[in-house]
Amino acid sequence: MKDRQPVYVRGLGAYLPEKILTNADLEKIVDTSDEWITSRTGIKERRIAADDQYTSDLSAEAAKRALADGGLAAGDVDAIIVATVTPDMPFPSTAAFVQKKIGAHTCPCMGIEAGCSGVPYGCELASALLRQGPYRNILAISADKLTAITDWQDRLTCVLFGDGAAAFLLTCDAEGARGEILDIYIANDSSGVDALYLPGGGSRAPATEETVRNRLHFLKMNGQEVYKEAVKSMGQAVATILERNNLVPDQIKFFSPHQANLRIIDAMARQINVPLERFLTVLQWTGNNSSPSVGIALDDAVRAGRLQHGDLVVLVSFGAGLTSGTVLLRWIG
């Protein structure tokens, strides 16, 4: 990365829907309890998008906030990338809907399917486009309306998920930058593709009465396998990016992990021998909102004034596929 043209974060934005679903609310829907959910996940509440609020709406709100944070207008955007597993529809791209909703000009719009690793995957693609030109400002958005594909009859999974979006306004111009991306690492281990998936709705199982009756249009997850692979993959991703940049964990101010489960975060912290206090966590009140979670946690820390000039931050994700990825960021302020 050191020999490449630098890429900077000019603006950062996050959006969470207004509606809150608490553990007490879930007790009225399925056979569960606040104690059971909290002890196993660390989640107390999650944000739920309205019925008429789609992934593109969540994305557009986060994008507007990133543009405002970076002091740019929608017309300054040269490309829009949206990473999501819950697109508004199979086509056109959700990014095209975002372009229309924020009033951007006819710039390229594209989507990424990287599960919960949308932030590192999106930042990697945006960085490559910025370096090759002629792009100057790119919105890399991660957003999901996971509650749209959540099986509310499945007590083991419905307690986990929420909705939200995060947007990074990336540029090659150092002027006005909030942070600098020092390195990005992304990977995929396809041996675990059956650990977390949505069986219905694609070309393999298009919608029929039978697929609906069999509840194939809701996500399926092998919880134990996901837990094991998440801890292993995110630990390996962190070790890789630190080694590539001649860093040790003590030099990192904060780690912003995928907000899936507090036990996963705790296990990863112990694996790399870093105190849990240095891991940014917001899942207590956001739930697992998939691809945007690491960006939402970073945005929360920035708004709270927890980052200072020169601080190093590692964003680390894990998702369906099985994808994983890290972003090494130096905060500027």
pLDDT in tens, 243-286: 999 999 999 999 999 999 999 999 999 999 999 999 999 999 99
Cβ(255)–Cβ(237) under 8 Å? no
Taking 60 as the threshold, does the pLDDT of residue 138 lie above it? yes
Give the pLDDT confidence score for residue 2 in this predicted structure.
Answer: 55
pLDDT at 100 > cutoff 70: yes
Residue carrying structure tokens 């959910």: 37
For residue 168, what are its two tokens?
């990074």
The pLDDT, as a whole number, for residue 4 is: 79
Q: Could you read off the pLDDT of 164-223 as tens digits, one per residue?
A: 999 999 999 999 999 999 999 999 999 999 999 999 999 999 999 999 999 999 999 999
Segment 69-86 shows an average pLDDT of 98
Q: Which of 118, 153, 30 is nearest to 320 (CA)?
A: 118
Q: Is 116 a catalytic residue?
A: yes
Secondary structure of residue 115 in the 3-state scheme: helix
Answer yes or no: do 35 and 172 share one domain.
Answer: yes
Given 23, 261, 288, 289, which residue is catalytic? 288
Residues 187 and 91 reside in one and the same domain: no
pTM: 0.97
Residue 1 lies in a domain: no
Count: domains in the chain:
2
Backbone angles phi, psi at 31, to 5 degrees: -80, 90
Please tell me whether residues 170 and 190 are part of one structural domain: no
131 and 201 inside one domain = no
Contact at 8 Å (CB) between 307 and 174? no
CA distance 264 to 316: 12
326 and 207 fall within a common domain: yes
User: Strand 137-145 vs strand 79-83: parallel, antiparallel, or unpaired?
Assistant: parallel
- pLDDT at 133 exceeding the cut of 90: no
Active-site residue identified among 137, 258, 261, 289: 258
The C-alpha atoms of residue 259 and residue 16 are separated, in whole angstroms, by: 14
Max CA-CA distance within the chain? 56
**Domain's final residue, options 178, 201, 218:** 178
Cα 238 to the center of its chain, rounded Å: 16
The C-alpha atoms of residue 273 and residue 271 are separated, in whole angstroms, by 6
Known catalytic residue at 288: yes
Question: Are 238 and 264 members of one domain?
Answer: yes
CB 83 within 8 A of CB 112: yes
- Domain termination site, one of 178, 193, 209: 178
Q: Are 222 and 300 contained in the same domain?
A: yes
* Residue appearing with tokens 């399925």: 30
d(CA 238, CA 178): 22
As a whole-number percent, the residues of the chain with pLDDT over 90 amount to 98
CB 89 within 8 A of CB 207: no
Determine how many CB atoms are found less than 10 A away from the CB of residue 225: 14
The answer to the question of residue 2 being in a domain is: no
Among 139, 163, 178, which residue terminates a domain? 178
Contact 163, 47 (CB under 8 A): yes
What's the mean pLDDT in 96-102?
Answer: 98
Choosing from 116, 123, 158, 172, which is the catalytic residue?
116
Q: Domain range holding 42?
A: 7-178
Query: Would the pLDDT of 328 be above 70?
Result: yes
188, β-bridge pairs: 323
Same domain? 151 vs 172:
yes
Q: Could you tell me the sign of the dihedral formed by the alpha carbons of 126, 234, 159, 85, in that order?
A: positive
Q: Which residue in 103, 91, 114 sits closest to 139, CA to CA?
A: 103
